[in-house]
Every structure is written in structure tokens, then in C-alpha cells.
A and B are shown apart, each in its own frame.
Chain A
Amino acid sequence: MRDNWRLEKNRDALHTRARMIYAIRDFLVNRDYLEVETPSLVPSPIPEPHIDAVSCGDLYLHTSPELCMKRFLAAGYPKIFQICKCFRSGERGSFHLPEFTMLEWYCRGMDYRLLMEECEDLIISVAHNLGYGDIILYQGKTLSFRKPWEIISVREAFSRYAPVQMDDAVNEGLFDEFMVCHIEPHLGSGRPTILFDYPVSGATLAKAKEEEPGVAERFELYMGGVEIANACSELTDMKEHHVRIEKVQNYRDSMNKTLYPLAEHFLQDIANMPDAAGIALGVDRLAMIFSNASVIDDVVAFTPEFG
């Protein structure tokens, strides 16, 4: 018998991962969320400037189930969740796999502020369910789940950590560079950080703030410098959807990126889209936190290189 060293090495992490996924289901089912499934093969991937889909015959592997999940909301399903594999072309690094596991949940009538609380509740419940107390050790540093968590706006994070202001970074086209090099390393140290109110240019399907239209009602959850989840008050306005999608198409065109077919069924259903908030959480990344792993390879059984 040949021993598979990788599977042996990751045994503890794979146990933690499995128990974590049970705990997530437990939390959401208890809060009356319905678990749903949507196709992995879709005719039109989500319109995003920087997310590339893997094509498969005439169809694409979904980059996230977001569009189908919103069609559930539009059809009157109030609370839904899904745990599924998602696929993104060209994404491979310490925190990225081209095939990864995503948790998405959506709630009608909620906004991003309320969703922040529910997100906190989920993480705390999962931690307790896994037998952890309020404090865990991640990469040699303590991480306390006790509320209140750090909740700061992107604008404030720029003032605090970056050498430029948020608006200047956006105008110079260097928002991502400052985020990665100056801001992210500080986030989620000691306790989780919720970073909120992103420039609308980076939040295609998020609702803009009424009092500040350049900013979207979007937040990201960070722990130990690692981005765990992305959430927003969902965009419901039909016209605004068309405007945003056209912007994405123009950008992709200018960068010589693949232009995807318009998500027609989604755009039709959006007419009935209620106010809602939704969140996408990287299951592999959360498993990294709970098994104290520094690379995503350590929380999956197989990587593309050793598949």
C-alpha cells in the first residue's frame, strides 16, 4: 500500500472542516434558512470586472451561485442558503484555489447592518459547536470572538493604515494595491474585523448608500489578515442593474477579457427582487482559521497540483 502523505498530514484539518460544515448547516437551519441547490453549469457567469469563469462547452462553471440565489428571493423564498463548489479561472495562491467551497446565505428584509450581526452569530456559534471557547489561536496570535468585533469603514481604514485617502486611491486606480499591501495585514488581528462601505466601483451588485452614492452598502469579514466573507445589501433596482453591468462589460472589453452573455433570466426576475441582504463566505478560508492553517492547501484533501 502506498501512503498518501498529504491526506495523512491534513487528517485533523479535514475532520475540523467536516464538523465546521455540520455546524454551519445547524446554525442556518435553526434560523429557518432553507438549503437550496443551483446548477454549477450556467449560461452566463456573474458580471464582475475581475472574476473570470471557466468555460465548459457552451456553458460556464459558476463563479458563485449569486444570480440563481437572487432568483429564489425574487420568487418569494425569504431565507435561503447554499454550500457549493465554485470555480474561478486563474486563481491560485496561499488563499486561493480555482475550485473552492462557498457558503452563501440570503435574507429578505435584511440590510447589511443586520447581516453583520448574523454573520458574527454564525461564526461564534460554529466556534462553540467545534468545542472552542471565545478565544482561539491563529498563526501564533490570539483571536477573540467576543463581541463587539472591530467594525470600521473602508474610508477610516485608509486614514488609519494607508499613505493615501480612499478616494485618491480609487481615482489613481490603486485601491487594490493599497488594500493588499497596507490595509489587509492589519485586519482581524486580536478580534475579527468587519470592513464596511466600499467604493461602489468595486461592488457591482450591491446597493449604493442613499446619503453617499459613491459608496456601496457592502462589508467584508477579516480574521487574522485573511478575507473570509463578502456581503452587501442587494441591489434591487432594475435600471441600475443594467447600468452597472454595462460598466463591467465596457471595462472587461477594454482589458481584452472574455465578455460573457447577458444573464437574461436573472435580469427578468430582478423586477420582483425584494429588499434583501446576502453574504458569500469562503468555507475553505474559515476552515483555515479553525484549524490554524497558513495555506489553503492544508484544509482540502486534494489540490489541483496533486488531484
Chain B
Amino acid sequence: MYSASDLKKGLRIKLENEPYIVTEFNFVKPGKGQALYRSKLRNMITGAQFERTFRSADTFEPADLREQKMQFLYKEEQKYCFMDNESYDQVFLTEEQVGEARNFFIDNLEVEVLFFEDRPLGVTVPNFVDLVVVGAEPWAKGDSVSGKTKPVTLQTGYQIQVPPFIEEGEKIRVDTRSGEYLTRVKG
């Protein structure tokens, strides 16, 4: 059982017998008022989104979902293909179902595919993925102390803000949960 204070982005809960994922979440507390948990929820089957505000005392059941280790194989017309390494079973997910995880799909990446009963619903990538910078403006000397950032394009097409010293061809580690740059990876 979850309480409202357990809510966070990505948590899956069961409401009216359907699985929902929390897509946006914010703790709010109007001056001297009670804590409220403003959430946006997405129905994991229909994709329908809605906003809902919970109170501290509200409780939820976790959604009964199963995750299966699989490997990213390829993308074909808006469909993403994943394979079970033991049974060689393949499943497809739509662009919408993979969501922002698509920014991190490199060949053979090991992911967790989420099933509700036998239906694949979504995918989780590892927390940290190393990606190659394929497009970057060269570093203008003297920028390193300003705390400024610059945009680069990664091998998956993902655009990200990085420190100015990162150059094309380098590999960087990205935190897939926030989508933010973490560090430069040597070698």
C-alpha cells in the first residue's frame, strides 16, 4: 500500500482496477494550509491522462505489473522491437509507449519491458547510459569557468545541455531519469 507521500514521477498505482503511472508530480502546500500532492496520471492501457490532487491520508494499491529483462533490437516504422534473451520472444512497443526512453536506445541495450497480464505496456532503461556525442560546436576557450552550458546531439538524436568542454566524438554518461548530463566517460 502506498500513501500520498510515496507518490513520485514514474510510480505505478492501481485506481479502479486499472494501472496508472504518475507522469507529473508536485508537492504543494498553500500558506499555512495542508500538504497536497498534485499529480498527473496516465492510464497505462488507454494512455488517457488526467490531473488529480491527493491528500496525505489517501492510500493506493500498487499496480500488479511484471517486468521482463529484454534487449533493444531495432526500430521499424514507429515501432520498437525488443527480444527476450532466453526465449527469443519478440515484442513491439509504439513510439508513445516507449516515451522518453527512446532517447537512450543504443543497440543491444538491456531494458526492462513492462507487462500488464500479457500485454507489453512500456519500457525502463538503466539509470545511467553512456552515449556518444555526434554533434557539437567546438569549445571557445575561456568558457570553462562561466558555468554556462551548450547543446550537443547524441548518437540517438537526443539533444542535451552539457559543459562547454565536451566535444564531438566523446562519450558522456546521462542520467536517464532526469535526462541530464552526469559526467564525461573516458575511453
- CA of A203 to CA of B38 in the docked complex: distance in angstroms? 23
Contact of B35 among A9, A91, A203, A220 (CB under 8 A): A91
Q: Is B91 an interface residue (CB 8 A)?
A: no
Whether B26 pairs with A93 at a CB distance below 8 angstroms is yes
Q: Is A186 an interface residue (CB 8 A)?
A: no
Whether A8 pairs with B163 at a CB distance below 8 angstroms is yes
Whether B30 pairs with A227 at a CB distance below 8 angstroms is yes
B184 to chain A: closest residue by CB: A3
Which positions 286-304 of chain A face chain B at CB distance < 8 Å? none
Interface residues of A, dominant DSSP: mixed
How extensive is the interface on chain A, given as a class? 20 to 34
Q: Is B147 an interface residue (CB 8 A)?
A: yes
Which positions 23-77 of chain B face chain A at CB distance < 8 Å? 26-36, 38, 53, 56-57
Q: Is A90 an interface residue (CB 8 A)?
A: yes
Which positions 1-50 of chain A face chain B at CB distance < 8 Å? 3, 5, 8-9, 11-12, 48-50
- CA of A96 to CA of B30 in the docked complex: distance in angstroms? 11
Whether B28 pairs with A95 at a CB distance below 8 angstroms is yes
- CA of A5 to CA of B172 in the docked complex: distance in angstroms? 13
- Residues in A with CB closer than 8 Å to B27 are 91-94, 96
Q: Is B158 an interface residue (CB 8 A)?
A: no
Q: Is B5 an interface residue (CB 8 A)?
A: yes
Whether B26 pairs with A176 at a CB distance below 8 angstroms is no
A181 to chain B: closest residue by CB: B53
If A91-B27, A94-B26 touch, whether A176 touches B34 (CB-CB below 8 Å) is yes
How extensive is the interface on chain B, given as a class? 20 to 34
Whether A11 pairs with B31 at a CB distance below 8 angstroms is no
Contact of B147 among A12, A48, A176, A255 (CB under 8 A): A12
Contact of A180 among B30, B163, B182 (CB under 8 A): B30
Total A-B pairs in contact (CB under 8 Å)? Answer: 66
Whether B32 pairs with A179 at a CB distance below 8 angstroms is no
Q: Is A77 an interface residue (CB 8 A)?
A: no
Q: Is A264 an interface residue (CB 8 A)?
A: no
Specify which of A51, A90, A93, A95 lies most central, judged by the most chain B CB atoms within 10 Å of its CB.
Answer: A93
Q: Is A78 an interface residue (CB 8 A)?
A: no
- Residues in B with CB closer than 8 Å to A9 are 147, 149
Whether B26 pairs with A50 at a CB distance below 8 angstroms is no
Q: Is B181 an interface residue (CB 8 A)?
A: yes
Whether A220 pairs with B31 at a CB distance below 8 angstroms is yes
- Residues in B with CB closer than 8 Å to A180 are 28, 30, 33, 36, 38, 53
- Residues in B with CB closer than 8 Å to A176 are 30, 33-34, 36
- Residues in B with CB closer than 8 Å to A91 are 27, 29, 35
A97 to chain B, nearest CB (A): 11
Q: Is A230 an interface residue (CB 8 A)?
A: yes
- Residues in B with CB closer than 8 Å to A92 are 27
- CA of A176 to CA of B37 in the docked complex: distance in angstroms? 11
A68 to chain B, nearest CB (A): 19
Q: Is A175 an interface residue (CB 8 A)?
A: yes
- CA of A9 to CA of B163 in the docked complex: distance in angstroms? 9
Whether B5 pairs with A48 at a CB distance below 8 angstroms is no
B22 to chain A, nearest CB (A): 14
Whether A11 pairs with B30 at a CB distance below 8 angstroms is no
Q: Is A150 an interface residue (CB 8 A)?
A: no
Specify which of B32, B33, B182 lies most central, judged by the most chain A CB atoms within 10 Å of its CB.
Answer: B32
- Residues in A with CB closer than 8 Å to B28 are 93, 95, 180
Whether B31 pairs with A227 at a CB distance below 8 angstroms is yes
If A8-B163, A180-B38, A181-B53 touch, whether A90 touches B5 (CB-CB below 8 Å) is yes
Q: Identify 28 residue pairs between A and B in the complex whose beta-carbon atoms are under 8 Å apart, listed by A's number.
A: A3-B163, A8-B147, A9-B149, A48-B32, A49-B34, A50-B29, A51-B32, A91-B27, A91-B29, A93-B26, A93-B28, A93-B29, A94-B26, A94-B27, A95-B28, A96-B27, A176-B36, A179-B33, A180-B28, A180-B36, A180-B53, A181-B38, A181-B53, A198-B32, A203-B32, A227-B31, A230-B32, A255-B57
4 cross-chain pairs, A with B, having the tightest CB-CB distances, nearest first: A93-B27, A176-B33, A11-B147, A179-B30
20 additional contacts, CB 8 Å, given A12-B147, A230-B31?
A: A5-B163, A5-B183, A9-B147, A48-B32, A50-B29, A50-B32, A50-B34, A90-B35, A91-B29, A91-B35, A92-B27, A175-B33, A177-B36, A179-B30, A180-B33, A184-B30, A198-B32, A202-B33, A220-B31, A230-B32
Residues of B near any A CB (own CB < 8 A): 5, 26-36, 38, 53, 56-57, 147, 149, 163, 181-183
Residues of A near any B CB (own CB < 8 A): 3, 5, 8-9, 11-12, 48-51, 90-96, 175-177, 179-181, 184, 198, 202-204, 220, 227, 230, 255
